[in-house]
Structure 1
Amino acid sequence: MNANLPASELWLTLSQAFLPPRQPETARAFRSELADDLRVLTAELGLNEGERLEAFRRSLRGIGHGQELLVHYASLFLSPPVAAHLNLGFHLDGTLFGPTQDSLDAWFANHGVERSVRFRDLPDHLAALLEFLAMLAAGTGTAGQADDFARHFLIPALPGLCREIELASGDSPYLHLARFAAEALRTLAGSGEQAPAAKRHNRRSLDPAKGELRHCKVCGQPFAREKEIRLLTAALAERGLPAGHLDTCPDCRDPAQGWRFGGPA
């Protein structure tokens, strides 16, 4: 085992910060305690992130109290059309339910990790990946596995998330938090070779042995595992959002809804 408990605590703290701040106490902690907690952890790890944390503090002044932080979070990450994707497979594969998810399934299975029934999102959500990284850093994995995981899935995906948040909201606290996470990951885990897509996963095979497949209602081709679709449908239903588009594969979905690559048709 090669435990790095301060790093594990840092990743776990960031994981919690990227979950929806639904409870008042969660929002209060985000506003009043998170920056101080991160400052203590970065000092312990020898990271020079003071400027990013100050930018995070300043950006919070633009977010009012009460439910405003949750409203801001929803406007970025939940309300369709989603402005910024916390599902990192989107940034790695260009779509949800891509080969990154198969690779993550293998990582989780190898470490005996299963999705909690309380977690209503896909396994490639940033919060889930940071929590898994925290587990590896705490010594659950073999030496170097935490760094490998970060270089495979987190480090190459976070720049895309940062760009989306910046385009959608400018000086958002989540932009500064994502930049903080990206820099901390590069410093602590990014010294090795960053894995290209070909090393992250093999070409995806929609193997029926992995579960029943969802077939597109337009072209009839399989495009995702039924289990994945059910998870996303449940997450959308919990937020009061429609899920009918999940019956159609991404290739057929956009033209059917009047979209083409790059914008409206």
Structure 2
Amino acid sequence: MKSTTFPDLIPHAEFALCMARATQCHFANITLAEMQGPLIEDLRQLSNVLPTLEAGQIDALEHAFNALTGTQQLLLGYSKLFLAPPAPAPLNLGAYLDGSLMARSVQAMEMLYRKYGLERDSHFRELPDHLSLNLQWLAWVFSEIAESEQHNAHNVTAISDAAAMLRDFSLPALEGIRRKVVAASGDTVTQPWRLLVELIQSQLTNDLNILAPYTAQSIANTSIANTSLAKETLDSDLSMAQVHTFETSDAPKEQLICRSCGSSFESSPVLAEMRKRLQEAGVSADHMSLCSRCQNSDNNAAMKPPGSNIKAWQ
């Protein structure tokens, strides 16, 4: 561990929080005006303390947003790249790390989420390896690290975990997303999303470079299996046609017992498909046995990012 002054990670957390919100555009009813105004304002403010956020990049992003005629075009570009099956560049990190949904890397990410008392909000209808959730986790952990530093204490565990998440999961998958977005993007409605993905990749790369000197031993012990897996997957041309929405799944419905309230309920098509894929991968799906009432309850622990000074969507 170096004895030099540890950098303030609050701006890094705020950037991750901004991007987490932006990348769940389709689910959060975000408008084009919010992207053109508060988001760009936040990025310009953060660029004063995050040198990776270059003025030219932010100008290009603002220009791309301004070229859109309305929120419908914003959502169309998002859907064309990330949602409409077969989506060319889904935002599920496991699709690039494992070549499939809900596989080994997703389990590892969920373990890190839960280590910090976080899990997917029941209102967020995407898988736990979605880029937005990954960014929220990073924002949370960066904030924990910063709080420890304010009390003159290195949170070695959190620093190592953040570096491991970036090194083994976030950045290898983002390279895959970037490649797919670049290949698929070529019109006005997709251009803002390409620029956002590139901005996220650039800043998270810088984040890892900052953390690396403080986790030298952890970095030196990089998991060969994870590195090889990521490289092998990124070097292949994955068929994204397999990544699709679950609403039309023909997976058999099950009669389940809710692990929260104990009531009996029938699984929805989405839950049935997710449980089927987990079971086929040899992974327990018991944690997904929640009835709709408990899924929508505010009593469940959910991944909610830390407070910050960002203007966007307050």
Q: Against the structure 1 CA distance between its residues 201 and 222, is the aligned structure 2 distance closer, same or farther, given a 3 Å change threshold?
A: farther
SS at match of 1:143: helix
Q: Residue in 1 aligned with 2:176?
A: 160
Whole-angstrom distance in 2 between the partners of 1:69 and 1:230: 35
Match status 1:31 vs 2:50: no
Structure 1 residues not aligned, in runs of 5+ = 203-210, 235-265
Pairwise CA distance, 1:25:
5.5
Whole-angstrom distance in 2 between the partners of 1:71 and 1:57: 18
Structure 1 residues 132-151: aligned runs within 5 Å: 132-139=137-144, 142-151=158-167
SS at match of 1:75: helix
Pairwise CA distance, 1:18:
0.4
Match status 1:99 vs 2:104: yes
Pairwise CA distance, 1:118:
1.0
CA RMSD of aligned residues (A): 3.3
Whole-angstrom distance in 1 between the partners of 2:124 and 2:198: 24
Q: Residue in 1 aligned with 2:234?
A: none
Pairwise CA distance, 1:38:
1.0
Correspondence for 2:199 among 180, 183, 195: 180
1:27-46: CA deviations, max 9, x gaps? 31112231221121122133
CA contact (8 A) 1:6 1:41 kept: yes
Whole-angstrom distance in 1 between the partners of 2:96 and 2:13: 24
CA contact (8 A) 1:99 1:201 kept: no
Q: Residue in 2 aligned with 1:222?
A: 280
One-letter code of the match for 1:173? P
Instruction: Answer 1 or 2: higher relative contact order, Cα 8 Å, separation at least 6.
Output: 2
Pairwise CA distance, 1:138:
0.0
Q: Against the structure 1 CA distance between its residues 33 and 144, is the aligned structure 2 distance closer, same or farther, given a 3 Å change threshold?
A: same
In the superposition, the TM-score normalised over structure 2's length comes to: 0.61
Identity %: 29
Count of aligned positions:
220
Relative to structure 2, which stretch is displaced further, 137-146 or 158-167? 137-146
Correspondence for 1:198 among 199, 218, 225: 225
Structure 2 residues not aligned, in runs of 5+ = 1-5, 146-156, 213-218, 230-258, 260-271, 293-314
Whole-angstrom distance in 2 between the partners of 1:24 and 1:118: 13
Whole-angstrom distance in 1 between the partners of 2:7 and 2:107: 26
In the superposition, the TM-score normalised over structure 1's length comes to: 0.71
Whole-angstrom distance in 2 between the partners of 1:124 and 1:57: 28
CA contact (8 A) 2:35 2:65 kept: no
